[in-house]
Amino acid sequence: MISVSIIIPVREINAYLYKSIPIILKETDESVEIIVLPDAPPREVINWPDCRSRIIPTGNIGPGRKRDVGARIARGETLAFLDDDAYPAAGWLGAAMAHFSDATVCAVGGPGVTPPEDPFWNQVSGAVFASLAGSGGARNRYVPVGTGAAVDDWPTVNLLVRRSAFDAVGGFNTDDFPGEDTKLCLALVEKLGMRIVYEPRAVVFHHRRPLFWKHFQQMGRYARCRGQFFRLHPRTSRRPLYALPSLLLLWTLFGVSYACFARRSNVIAAIGLGCYGVLAVSAGVETLISAKSLVLSLATAMAVALTHVWYGVQFLRGLVVTRGDARPSTSGGVLEGEVRLRE
């Protein structure tokens, strides 16, 4: 009997999946199924060593719609959403599932930790996310810190949802990307009055984007989404933490501009630049303590300051510009037929 359905949306079968699927199969038993949802059928026969895996082509639709498709055909009472570039650590599923014995819990989220095998510049990106200077109070999404507590917003790289609660709110029902997970969590908390629990022991390893371009491309999407949600979804997105990078950026730019036009030094600019310096140094020290690498800590210090600037710019853009990040839906989410794997 299937109790948990792991749902993984992806554009196409890739190298990450060839690594993650065998790990998922090893870490779970016969009560767990895996549903992978690419745009199109794979070009070659997939030889994953277990018949619990299914590939369901969906056509070119966004990740939220893909997860809805996966949920419709899932047989489990718990839906576990993972990304294609994530794989579970030992004990992941047991730590998360223990919370569902509480009838008030509708979902459980855990941290997505940077894998130790990631290359150097991917490790730098991960260190930015994991640092207090880089993520503030949201760093528990990237490192297992704190104890289990209620949250109201959690990314679908590592989110398990009670099937009945998912159906009650109509699933994701959106082409937004990113931000589909924020909308789902908001619906679960607001409409059902149930709890989403953070479990630090429910760890998955999540591969990072390397600096510089791919890291900033990802951060830009996050920031533009949060900027728009700051306007549209104030309950979970209108928080000082999300606006701080933009406020610091504006403060610094005002000070620098004033100093240039007034032809005099300005304490406003000095304070702003000093804040960036403090953020960089604190992130570097934190990384040095955790990773024991001076080179990694210096690169992280630089990356944190640059990330704050870029996030601030893109958040402001999201405040005033309608988003265009959602992928077009060309198939309407109609299944194109299950791909049978070679057993």
Q: Is the pTM of this model over 0.85?
A: yes
Q: What is the largest CA-CA distance in the chain?
A: 75
Q: Dump pLDDT digits (tens) for 30-41.
A: 899 999 999 988
Q: State the pLDDT at residue 265.
A: 66
CB 236 within 8 A of CB 331: no
pLDDT tops 60 at residue 327: no
Q: Dump pLDDT digits (tens) for 194-222.
A: 999 999 999 999 999 999 899 999 999 99
Q: Where are the domains of the chain?
A: 4-229, 234-320
Q: State the pLDDT at residue 229.
A: 86
- Dist CA 226 CA 176 (whole Å): 12
Q: State the pLDDT at residue 267.
A: 87
- Dist CA 112 CA 98 (whole Å): 19
CA distances for 60 relative to 11, 334, 340, angstroms: 8, 10, 20
pLDDT tops 80 at residue 44: no
pLDDT tops 50 at residue 144: yes
Mean pLDDT, rounded, for 72-91: 95
Most confident of 103-112, 244-253, 322-331: 103-112
The dihedral built from the CA positions of residue 101, 102, 106 and 112, taken in this order, carries a sign that is: negative
Q: State the pLDDT at residue 263.
A: 67
Confidence of residue 2 (pLDDT cuts 50, 70, 90): confident
**Architecture of the domain made up of 4-229:** Alpha-Beta Complex (3.90)
Of the two residues 93 and 323, the one the predictor is more confident about is 93
Of the two residues 160 and 273, the one the predictor is more confident about is 160
pLDDT tops 50 at residue 71: yes
Q: What are phi and psi of 117, to 5 degrees?
A: -85, -5
Q: State the pLDDT at residue 264.
A: 66
Q: SS3 of 146, please? A: coil
Helices (H), the chain: 15-27, 63-73, 92-97, 120-130, 132-135, 163-168, 180-192, 213-232, 234-237, 240-262, 267-291, 294-320
Instruction: Find how far residue 298's CA is from the centre of its chain.
Output: 25
Confidence of residue 333 (pLDDT cuts 50, 70, 90): very low
Mean pLDDT, rounded, for 225-236: 86
Mean pLDDT (the chain, rounded): 88
Supply the DSSP string of 328-343, one letter for each residue.
P-SSTT----PBPPP-
Mean pLDDT, rounded, for 17-27: 91
Least confident of 50-59, 65-74, 152-161, 211-220: 50-59
Q: Dump pLDDT digits (tens) for 145-199.
A: 888 789 989 999 999 999 999 999 999 877 767 788 988 999 999 899 899 999 9
Q: SS3 of 162, please? A: strand
pLDDT tops 60 at residue 325: no
Strands 78-82 and 53-55: unpaired
- Dist CA 315 CA 318 (whole Å): 5
